[in-house]
């Protein structure tokens, strides 16, 4: 059993889904699970955190946490860790995990493992064992931590299922004020620009329709969008399609893009490189359209059509339209 702290995040008024996933991963280690939420007005996400498995939620408050960006979060998380002394600290692969986590781990002389997809406990040493993709997703490494300091685990999203919310679960919500001096804020937050997003978020979509280099240009993405709309889903892309400028990087699925776990993942003109599959291996069903019957995507797909997308896609969209109408 280890005492864990999940450095949590809110998504508007709700608990961020990646935080709920980390709480589930932390519960699997057997000990108490504390969650820290940084900033003001987070009572609702705190209640949700308890419903999905947290034992105690620390509402970490300071005016500068609302305006001071990651410098303020670094100061706050360091103080929370010193006060609670967790053995394991979980963070998501957001700015918190990529920027704040490593800086706090350095200050605490702690070890840190990025991009973890599995966390278990070594009963012998009491240390956690993590598994993480390496070499561009071509291999998975198993790692553990040294003797001293808390163990910082940065979790990839969509690899753990959040626990079913139980509104009757009881837990403590504790307010904690931290000491942050304005002189600690060296990066000035100028503006937050919301990514222009329409419809369902790629990471949360039950159906994702993705296109790759095989589409040959940006225009076919309009057809993928049409299909995604009919299915109530979202549009994704391979990195090759994003690099070509056919579609914005916010649509990229893969190792250096988004991790998705939809019920249905339809890929059109995507070869299935390991770096792409690293972002969609959690998909329940993959449907592949590719003219190369040897394409790796067919090895991963539950359903596949070998052929030219220009012939297949319009007929497929028409059939789905008829089915949706009826
Ligand atoms: C460190 C690193 C990180 C990376 N991160 C990512 C990542 O996050 N996401 C990602 O996607 N990639 C990533 N990549 C790139 C990855 O290795 C591949 O290069 C990329 O996924 C290929 O994209 P693609 O499948 O669209 O293109 P290709 O590999 O060129 O495949 C195109 C496919 O389209 C098919 N095709 C062509 N014409 C047609 C047609 N008319 N009809 C039907 N099918 C057709 C072809 O048979 C082929 O299989 C990364 C690479 C590195 C080194």
Nearest Cα residue to atom 27 of ligand 1: 213
pLDDT of 33 higher than 80: yes
Q: What is the pLDDT of residues 68-113, one digit of tens each?
A: 789 999 999 999 999 999 999 999 999 899 999 999 999 999 999 9
Higher pLDDT, 123 or 172: 172
pLDDT for position 2: 84
Helix (H) or strand (E) holding 262: none
Residues 61/39, Cβ–Cβ less than 8 Å: yes
pLDDT at 249 over 80: yes
Mutate to test the pocket of ligand 1, among 93, 115, 138, 214 (most ligand atoms within 8 A of CB): 214
Region 213-242 average pLDDT: 97
pTM for the complete prediction?
0.84
In the chain, % of residues over pLDDT 90: 83
The whole-number average pLDDT for the span 311-320 is: 96
Give the position, in ligand 1's atom list, of the atom nearest the Cα of 238.
Answer: 11
Domain ranges of the chain: 4-184, 202-325
Residue 235 has pLDDT above 90, yes or no: yes
The predicted structure's pLDDT at residue 95: 86
Domain 202-325 listed as CATH 3.30.70.270? no
Q: Is the pLDDT of residue 136 over 90?
A: no
Secondary structure class of 82 (helix, strand, coil): helix
Atom of ligand 1 nearest to the CA of 270: 25
Q: Do the first three CATH levels of 4-184 and 202-325 match, i.e. the same topology?
A: yes
Rounded CA-CA distance 288/74 in Å is 43
Q: In this predicted model, what pLDDT tens digit does every residue of 148-158 receive, in sequence order?
A: 789 999 999 98
Q: What's the fold here for domain 4-184?
A: Rossmann fold (3.40.50)
Counting ligand 1 atoms within 8 A of each CB, the residue from 224, 270, 274, 312 with the most, and so the one to mutate, is 270
Average of per-residue pLDDT across 263-272: 98
- Cα(240) to centroid of ligand 1, in Å? 5
Summarised one tens digit per residue, pLDDT across range 190-222 is: 887 877 766 788 988 999 999 999 999 999 999
Going by CA atoms, what residue is nearest to atom 30 of ligand 1? 213
For the chain, the average pLDDT equals: 94
- Whether the per-residue pLDDT at 46 is higher than 70: the answer is yes
> Where are the alpha helices (H) located in the chain, listed in sequence order?
17-27, 43-51, 63-67, 69-84, 95, 101-107, 220-230, 239-243, 274-277, 297-300, 309-325
Do residues 214 and 291 make contact, with C-beta atoms less than 8 angstroms apart?
yes
pLDDT classification of 169: cutoffs 50, 70, 90: very high
Please give all residues whose beta carbon lies within 6 A of any atom in ligand 1, as ranges: 136, 212-214, 238-241, 252-257, 269-271, 273, 275-276, 279, 289-292, 295, 308-309
pLDDT given for residue 197 in this prediction:
67
Q: What is the pLDDT of residue 123?
A: 86
Residue 147 has pLDDT above 80, yes or no: no
Return the DSSP state at 292: -
Q: Return the HEC string of 123-151.
A: CCCCCEEEEEEEHHHCEEEEEECCCCCCE
């Amino acid at each position: 059993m280890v005492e864990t702290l999940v450095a949590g995040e809110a998504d508007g008024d709700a608990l961020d889904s990646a935080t709920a996933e980390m709480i589930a991963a932390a519960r699997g280690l057997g000990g108490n699970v504390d969650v820290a939420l940084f900033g003001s007005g987070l009572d609702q996400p705190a209640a949700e955190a308890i419903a999905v498995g947290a034992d105690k939620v620390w509402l970490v408050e300071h005016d500068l946490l609302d305006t001071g960006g990651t410098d303020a979060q670094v100061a706050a998380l360091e103080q929370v860790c010193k006060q609670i002394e967790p053995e394991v600290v979980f963070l998501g692969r957001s700015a918190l995990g990529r920027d704040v986590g490593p800086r706090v781990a350095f200050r605490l002389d702690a070890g840190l493992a990025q991009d973890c997809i599995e966390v278990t406990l070594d009963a012998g040493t009491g240390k956690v064992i993590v598994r993480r993709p390496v070499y561009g997703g071509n291999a998975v490494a198993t790692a553990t931590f040294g003797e001293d300091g808390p163990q910082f685990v940065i979790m990839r999203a969509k690899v753990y299922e959040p626990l079913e919310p139980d509104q009757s679960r009881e837990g403590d919500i504790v307010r904690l004020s931290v000491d942050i001096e304005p002189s600690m804020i060296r990066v000035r937050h100028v503006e937050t620009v919301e990514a222009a997003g329409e419809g369902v978020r790629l990471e949360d979509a039950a159906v994702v329709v993705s296109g790759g280099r095989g589409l040959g240009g940006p225009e076919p993405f309009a057809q993928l969008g049409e299909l995604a709309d009919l299915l109530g889903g979202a549009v994704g892309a391979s990195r090759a399609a994003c690099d070509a400028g056919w579609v914005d990087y916010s649509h990229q699925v893969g190792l250096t893009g988004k991790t998705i776990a939809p019920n249905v993942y339809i890929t059109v003109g995507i070869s299935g490189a390991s770096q792409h599959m690293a972002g969609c291996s959690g998909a329940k069903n993959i449907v592949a359209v590719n003219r190369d019957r040897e394409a790796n995507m067919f090895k991963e797909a539950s359903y596949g059509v070998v052929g030219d997308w220009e012939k297949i896609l319009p007929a497929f969209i028409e059939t789905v339209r008829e089915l949706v109408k009826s």
